[in-house]
Chains A and B, each alone.
Chain A
Amino acid sequence: MHGFANPARFLRIARVLTVPLLVAGLLLTGAALYYGLVYAPPERLQGDSVRILFIHVPAAWLGMAGWSGIAVASFVELVWRHPLAGIGARAAAVPGAFFAFLCLATGSLWGRPAWGTWWVWDGRLTSMLVLLFLYFGYIALAGASAREGGGSRIAAIFGLVGAVNIPIIHYSVLWWNSLHQPPSLTTGGSAMAGPFLWGLMAATLGFTFIFGGVVLARMRAILADVQAEARLRRKAEGA
């Protein structure tokens, strides 16, 4: 565990993993989306509009997983002061926000034909919108503290506090009457027929690989920035 906190060792591993993750993710996502958009059968009530599922559900999962990752990294940073944890959290914020936005946008496009509305203020939709705003706040806060050279402890605390929203998103459709339906995939089984389920699994795995590859690439970029800045500072002090 502590071995990964060494930036040099992390960089060696990240350099090997980044491209394979991105390539595998793109191939798997491409295949799953081709299947989902072309071959998957129309749904009994929704017809062809069900195909948006293959983007909407992975985006929702990654929007929530992204913040869960930020929360875990923030915890590690606050307790063990690993510099890499803060960098990992910062690197996950932008792709996480992107997927939260993608979830809201595809959900809106899906809501119009399925429900008859682009948007309603029900528990699920509202808590997901709050997640997107939390991402914006986190990105601004982490960026500001990085620019000012201070520690990222305030951003880490914000990452931990914002994690409260994640279970609320999940349980919003169970606690409250909402227009959004309850989850189809639970530990008890799947209310989704095989042709949808397997395509969805593949798309989710593919998008997750892409997410992982992007986070690694962004962590490398942030580390390179930090090193370049440190080198400049040393030079300025030496001169």
Chain B
Amino acid sequence: MSTGLKAKHQRLVLIAIAVAVLIAAGLLAAWALRSQASYFYVPSEMVANPPEPGQAVRLGGMVQAGSLKTAPDGITINFVVGDGDARVPVRYSGIVPDLFTEGSGVVAEGRMDADGTFAADTLLAKHDENYVPRELHDMTEAQKRAAVEETSK
């Protein structure tokens, strides 16, 4: 009995150590990957370390408010993607995703032009973690209070 108990405790310690080492190794590997495994570059990385013109890259950030302009041809749009530190102008021709608006996130696939504009082939909308009902979002603070009072009567 005493030898059985000992073997059990030995296994517990050995396997607990193995699991701890394993998880530490996995987390270290994932941590080391953090620049390679990213899906896109943010504008400050793009400005600090510009890719070769013509090299396919992805650029992600926020569409700056007031920057979205439609060219005279009607399908080409120009806008600026920023991350708070740097800004990169983007040009795109085609259908934009439904959630693509000024002030929201976007991931553009394409390449840098020689003139410093990012020519996008594909636009993906990136939404944030906030989920807000449409009615509440459109209301002012006073309307929200009124709606809450009305429903709680």
Are B23 and A176 in contact, CB atoms less than 8 angstroms apart? no
The reply to whether A115 and B39 form a contact with Cβ atoms under 8 Å apart is no
Give the residues from 177 to 200 in chain A that come closer than 8 angstroms, CB to CB, to chain B.
177-179, 181-184, 191-193, 195-196
Alpha-carbon separation in the docked complex, A122 to B27 (Å) = 18
Question: What's the A-B contact tally at a CB cutoff of 8 Å?
Answer: 131
A69-122: which residues lie under 8 A (CB-CB) from chain B? 75, 78-80, 113-117, 120-122
Q: Are A177 and B26 in contact (CB under 8 A)?
A: no
Contact (Cβ within 8 A) B129 A191: yes
- A116 pairs with B30, CB closer than 8 A: no
Contact partner of B27 among A75, A161, A167, CB < 8 A? A167
State whether the Cβ of B3 lies closer than 8 Å to any Cβ in chain A.
Answer: no
Closest to B131 in A: A192
User: Is there an interface contact between A164 and B26, defined as CB atoms closer than 8 Å?
Assistant: yes
Query: Among the listed B22, B38, B99, B127, which residue makes an inter-chain contact with A160, where contact means beta carbons less than 8 Å apart?
Result: B22
CB contacts (< 8 Å) of B39 on chain A: these are: 120-123, 176-179
Instruction: Say whether B22 contacts A114, CB under 8 Å.
Output: no
Count chain B residues whose beta carbon lies closer than 8 angstroms to a beta carbon of A: 47
Contacts of B125 in A (CB 8 A): 114-116
The size of the chain A interface, using a CB distance under 8 A, is 44
**Which of A46-54, A142-150, A201-209, A230-238 lies on the face that meets chain B?**
A46-54
Which residues, 21 to 46 on B, are CB-close (under 8 Å) to A?
22-23, 25-27, 30-31, 33-34, 37-42
Bound CA span A114–B98, Å:
7
Instruction: Check: A225 CB closer than 8 A to any chain B CB.
Output: no
Q: Is the CB of B124 within 8 A of A176?
A: no
Complex contact B131–A167 (CB within 8 A): no
Question: In the complex, which of the residues B15, B126, B131, B136 contacts A115, with contact meaning CB atoms closer than 8 Å?
Answer: B126
| B124 and A177 contacting across the interface, CB-CB below 8 Å | no
Interface presence of B107 (CB below 8 A): yes
In the assembled complex, A222 has its CB within 8 A of some CB on chain B: no
**A171 to B38, alpha carbons, bound, how many Å?**
12
A151 at the interface (CB under 8 A from B): no
- A116-B124, A163-B23, A192-B130 are known contacts. Are A45 and B40 too (CB-CB below 8 A)? no
Interface residues of A (CB under 8 A from B): 41-47, 50, 53, 75, 78-80, 113-117, 120-123, 160-161, 163-165, 167-168, 171, 175-179, 181-184, 191-193, 195-196
28 A-B pairs in the complex with CB atoms less than 8 angstroms apart: A41-B134, A44-B133, A45-B104, A46-B99, A78-B11, A113-B98, A114-B98, A114-B125, A115-B99, A115-B125, A115-B127, A117-B124, A122-B39, A160-B18, A163-B23, A164-B26, A165-B26, A168-B27, A175-B31, A176-B33, A177-B40, A178-B39, A179-B107, A181-B127, A182-B129, A183-B129, A193-B131, A196-B131
